[in-house]
């Protein structure tokens, strides 16, 4: 049989069904049919951002269902031995004019079966898509075009059909999954809008059937403003929006207060789910709402004689200024997945730091070579992939001259594929987190700390790039009555700077603006031009350094509660200082709100005067005495029983947290101190306390010493001298590693599987050594010595130095709270400021340094 006949398109020399069956026989055991729960990655490479849209297409392994670009599929073949892949390619086809002047495609009967995101309208007048699929057998690249139903074995045909018809791997799999992907509403394209003259004012909304002024929804067909139901998004309402749909049948509504230049929250009553509306700007314009400017006059039309408001959205995004697009390495944008701009802004800033570039992009070949069998579930692999995508320039190429001319001549042009979609990265880093795994807007500061936590738990060897942010804070607590003091240290990653609102330099203007705003709201007129409080940076720095009261302070000197004050200073200065302006507060309804202020952040920052000094001459330390335990007089009291009985700890929650990689004792403490309220609440406790010195120490409960840690032994906590669990050893050896290496890695990682794999990748030499008893003993001793050395190291990892810094980036937030709005990032590169606004990367003309939320400073060398 001439197998070479299959090379190329395979269409010139078709083979008989028997020949194809014979060709595939050796590989049949490796071809699987996707089962329920299997995720098929047919839209994106696991190691890069190659897709079926890319020049080389995408190869999907017919066993693991992972996708690989042309430059990575060979690695997967060599590592796993899997030979059969489905090659997927999407072609963009230019239409040609027909005899009647209409457009005809160059190819007829175009096939479209890939569930891909598109950058253009499939029904435009100039282009259409055609998808192509074929089986490819490695290492000789034999190709079998699909569909080939009559010639392929039944199992192969079923497997191919299942792969081609599979849905997005990021779509919600089950009711307990937090990973969601909003779908485009079937009503969006052909939505009927009644021309009834309704115009929506910019404020002062009220339900047309009751007096509610919150949780209001604008029906996109007739412009009715009605309240939602309480269970729709957690807000209260009387359900008038749903009643209106049942009465009139108008399917789509947008939530008022969520409309931004980047989108809005849209709900489909017919589809009973939150949806995407690609035509939302047009649908809102029907009612006089301009999404870009967010400014509506009383008649719904913009009056050119009215001075436009200088809103936060316009200033931060530099609207009204023609910005020059930037291309090349380090100038790659990121697609907004629906309120994912917080992630994009943070990651752009993170990968502008050389230490992160070296750790992930510099180690990319090693990380990819040692990645687990499922690289989509490995932090370091996904960080390396994202870093390479942003820094390589491969996904940020300027249009050719001919394309520029075409864009000038035509409104619609061939879709460009610049920028990357961080969907796989977001799915991994947000896995198990109730907020980041949702499609809701999040706090960029919280995501920054979440990322640092992941980097801490997934170190590459002994180095951790997040160390550049670590610093020690010295807290000095003083008893106001005895004047005695206590000094403690803690680790932190950012400096939280309070807003000194009382120091505003334009108080008179603020008072006048507030009066006008209230008058306009009462009269349902557009609000006056915004006036922001101007806060001097020096006042914020002064507020940071001032003492603060300590609530419920117990003085060990007085053996009683007393008044206490605390001051914070830097015990060390980090290599990179991250400064958060504390703009967010809580309203009376406990909804986060933002203070829209201007702070004159300096380009050069010197905080050497905030260096900690430690115990000073003449100061007397507070005695090291713990507060007494108050036991009720009645020994039969239930509180007494609570103190004397063993602690009640939900072991299922403990194990859920332990499986995430946290120390077992820390998990027990988290569950205990959060009152057994579940793994999610305990997880938040862990994040807040993981830097404390006794984080992994056994739980010690006053009044019942020794009981808390007893459960650890019952759960199988194993020391270094004991043998690791056999199932963990078997799992690592199934990946191709030697048994002795698996045992050593598990002992070195205290039986944490994820850390054990990291240990193996950072100690590749033992695999090549003999398995003699003496070699094994030497390796085991070295492993134990490394653990003891790390455990005995003094203090946390810090990079202390001068407290003089230079600003190189900042993240800005637009909107009224962390629950809504939009983030962009400004970075200083090659001597000029650049704005990163999702996919758009442009040279900045007016960087709004005074409106930032998180600022990034680098240390100035001494």
Model confidence at 713, in pLDDT bands (50, 70, 90)? Answer: very low
How far is 282 from 290, CA to CA, in rounded Å?
9
**pLDDT value, residue 503:** 92
∠ Cα 560 563 568 (to 5°):
120
pLDDT per residue over 819-851, tens digit each?
778 999 999 999 999 999 999 999 999 999 999
**Cβ proximity of 92 and 129 under 8 Å:** yes
Annotated catalytic sites, by residue?
A: 341, 822
Model confidence at 727, in pLDDT bands (50, 70, 90)? Answer: low
Q: Assess whether pLDDT exceeds 50 at residue 777.
A: no
- Residue 168's CB is within 10 A of a number of other CB atoms, namely 18
For the chain, give the percent of residues with pLDDT over 70.
75
Model confidence at 817, in pLDDT bands (50, 70, 90)? Answer: confident
Model confidence at 150, in pLDDT bands (50, 70, 90)? Answer: confident
**pLDDT value, residue 116:** 61
pLDDT per residue over 405-438, tens digit each?
455 444 444 445 589 999 999 999 998 887 888 8
Q: Assess whether pLDDT exceeds 80 at residue 144.
A: yes
Q: Which of 218, 257, 215 is closest to 239 using CA atoms?
A: 215
Q: Assess whether pLDDT exceeds 50 at residue 441.
A: yes
How far is 675 from 650, CA to CA, in rounded Å?
9
Q: Which of 207-211, 343-347, 610-614 shows the lowest per-residue confidence on average (mean pLDDT)?
A: 207-211
Tokens of 210: 């009751």
**pLDDT value, residue 821:** 85
∠ Cα 74 77 82 (to 5°):
150
∠ Cα 482 483 488 (to 5°):
115
Q: Which residue has the higher pLDDT, 117 or 301?
A: 117
Helix axes 679-689, 444-457, angle to 10 degrees: 80
pLDDT per residue over 322-341, tens digit each?
899 999 999 999 999 888 99
Model confidence at 734, in pLDDT bands (50, 70, 90)? Answer: low
**pLDDT value, residue 401:** 59
Q: Which of 49-53, 196-200, 505-509, 695-699 shows the lowest per-residue confidence on average (mean pLDDT)?
A: 695-699
How far is 334 from 422, CA to CA, in rounded Å?
7
**pLDDT value, residue 791:** 34
pLDDT per residue over 377-391, tens digit each?
999 999 999 999 999
Tokens of 330: 């380090």
Model confidence at 399, in pLDDT bands (50, 70, 90)? Answer: confident
Query: No. of H helices and E strands in the chain?
Result: 25, 30
Q: Assess whether pLDDT exceeds 70 at residue 132.
A: yes
Q: Is the peptide bond before 147 cis (omega within 30 degrees of 0)?
A: yes
pLDDT per residue over 525-559, tens digit each?
888 888 899 999 999 999 999 999 988 788 889 98
Model confidence at 176, in pLDDT bands (50, 70, 90)? Answer: very low
Q: Which residue has the higher pLDDT, 758 or 416?
A: 758
How does the average pLDDT of the chain come out, rounded? 78
How far is 802 from 609, CA to CA, in rounded Å?
11
**pLDDT value, residue 127:** 67
pTM of the complete model beyond 0.75: no
How far is 193 from 36, CA to CA, in rounded Å?
40
How far is 10 from 87, CA to CA, in rounded Å?
13
Whether the CA torsion 628, 634, 637, 642 is positive or negative: it is: positive
- Residue 26's CB is within 10 A of a number of other CB atoms, namely 11
**pLDDT value, residue 700:** 67
User: Which range in 417-421, 596-600, 771-775, 790-794 is most confidently predicted, on average pLDDT?
Assistant: 596-600
């Amino acid at each position: 049989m001439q197998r070479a006949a299959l090379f190329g398109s395979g269409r010139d020399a078709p083979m008989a069904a028997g020949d194809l069956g014979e060709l595939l026989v050796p590989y049949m055991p490796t071809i699987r049919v996707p089962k329920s729960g299997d995720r098929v990655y047919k839209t994106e490479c696991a190691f890069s951002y190659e897709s079926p849209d890319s020049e080389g297409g995408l190869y999907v392994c017919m066993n693991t269902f992972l996708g690989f670009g042309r430059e990575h599929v060979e690695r997967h073949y060599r590592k796993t031995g899997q030979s059969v892949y489905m090659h997927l390619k999407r072609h963009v086809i230019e239409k040609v004019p027909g005899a009647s002047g209409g457009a005809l495609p160059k190819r007829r009967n175009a096939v479209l079966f890939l569930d891909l995101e598109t950058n253009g309208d499939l029904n435009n007048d100039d282009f259409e898509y055609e998808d192509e699929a074929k089986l490819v057998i490695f290492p000789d690249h034999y190709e079998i075009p699909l569909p080939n139903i009559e010639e392929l074995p039944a199992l192969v045909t079923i497997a191919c059909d299942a792969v081609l018809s599979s849905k997005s791997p990021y779509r919600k799999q089950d009711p307990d999954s937090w990973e969601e992907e909003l779908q485009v509403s079937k009503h969006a394209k052909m939505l009927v809008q009644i021309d009834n003259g309704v115009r929506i004012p910019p404020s002062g909304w009220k339900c047309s059937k009751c007096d509610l002024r919150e949780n209001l929804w604008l029906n996109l067909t007739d412009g009715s403003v009605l309240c939602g139901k309480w269970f729709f998004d957690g807000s209260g309402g009387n359900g008038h929006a749903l009643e209106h749909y049942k009465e009139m049948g108008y399917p789509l509504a947008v939530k008022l207060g969520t409309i931004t230049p980047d989108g809005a929250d849209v709900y489909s009553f017919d589809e009973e789910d939150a949806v995407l509306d690609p035509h939302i700007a047009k649908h809102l314009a029907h009612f006089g709402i301009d999404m870009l400017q967010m400014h509506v006059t009383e008649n719904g039309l913009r009056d050119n004689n009215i001075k436009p408001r200088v809103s936060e959205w316009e200033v931060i995004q530099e609207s009204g200024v023609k910005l020059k697009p930037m291309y090349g390495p380090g100038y790659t944008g990121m697609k907004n997945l629906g309120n994912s701009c917080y992630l994009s802004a943070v990651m752009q800033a993170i990968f502008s730091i050389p230490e992160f570039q070296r750790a992930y992009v510099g180690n990319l070949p090693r990380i990819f070579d040692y990645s687990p069998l499922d690289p989509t579930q490995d932090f370091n692999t996904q960080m390396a992939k994202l870093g390479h995508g942003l820094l390589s320039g491969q996904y940020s190429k300027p249009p050719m001259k001919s394309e520029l001319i075409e864009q000038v001549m035509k409104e619609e042009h061939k879709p460009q594929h610049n920028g990357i979609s961080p969907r796989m990265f977001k799915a991994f880093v947000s896995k198990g987190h109730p907020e980041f795994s949702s499609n809701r807007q999040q706090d960029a500061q919280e995501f920054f700390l979440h990322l640092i936590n992941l980097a801490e738990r997934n170190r590459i060897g002994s180095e951790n790039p997040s160390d550049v942010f670590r610093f020690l804070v010295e807290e000095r607590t003083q008893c106001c009555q005895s004047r005695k003091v206590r000094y403690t240290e803690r680790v932190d990653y950012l400096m939280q700077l309070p807003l000194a609102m009382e120091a505003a330099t334009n108080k008179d203007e603020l008072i006048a603006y507030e009066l006008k705003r209230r008058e306009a709201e009462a009269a349902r007129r557009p609000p006056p031009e915004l006036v922001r409080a101007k806060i001097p940076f020096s006042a914020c720095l002064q507020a940071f350094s001032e003492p603060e009261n300590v609530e419920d302070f117990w003085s060990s000197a007085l053996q009683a509660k007393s008044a206490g004050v605390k001051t914070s200073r830097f015990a060390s200065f980090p290599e990179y200082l991250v400064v958060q302006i504390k703009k967010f507060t809580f309203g009376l309804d406990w909804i986060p709100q933002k203070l829209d202020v201007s702070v004159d952040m300096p380009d050069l920052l010197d905080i050497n005067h905030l260096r900690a000094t430690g115990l000073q001459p003449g100061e007397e330390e507070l005695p090291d005495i713990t507060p007494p335990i108050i036991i009720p007089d009645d020994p039969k009291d239930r509180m007494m029983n609570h103190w004397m009985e063993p602690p009640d700890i939900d072991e299922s929650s403990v194990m859920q947290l332990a499986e995430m990689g946290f120390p077992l004792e820390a998990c027990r403490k988290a569950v205990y101190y959060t009152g057994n309220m579940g793994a999610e609440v305990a997880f938040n406790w862990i994040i807040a306390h993981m830097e404390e010195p006794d984080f992994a120490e056994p739980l010690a409960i006053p009044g019942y010493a020794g009981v808390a840690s007893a459960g650890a032994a019952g759960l199988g906590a194993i020391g270094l001298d004991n043998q690791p669990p056999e199932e963990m050893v078997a799992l690592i050896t199934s990946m191709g590693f030697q048994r002795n290496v698996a045992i050593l890695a598990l002992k070195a990682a205290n039986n944490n599987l994820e850390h054990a794999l990291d240990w193996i990748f950072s100690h590749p030499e033992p695999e090549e050594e003999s398995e003699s008893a003496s070699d094994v003993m030497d390796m085991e001793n070295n492993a134990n010595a490394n653990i003891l050395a790390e455990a005995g190291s003094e203090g946390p990892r810090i990079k202390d130095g001068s407290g003089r810094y230079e600003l190189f980036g900042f993240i800005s937030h637009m909107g009224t709270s962390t629950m809504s709005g939009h983030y962009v990032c400004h970075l200083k590169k090659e001597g000029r400021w650049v704005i990163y606004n999702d996919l758009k990367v442009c040279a900045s003309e007016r960087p709004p340094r005074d409106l930032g939320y998180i600022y990034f400073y680098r240390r100035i060398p001494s």
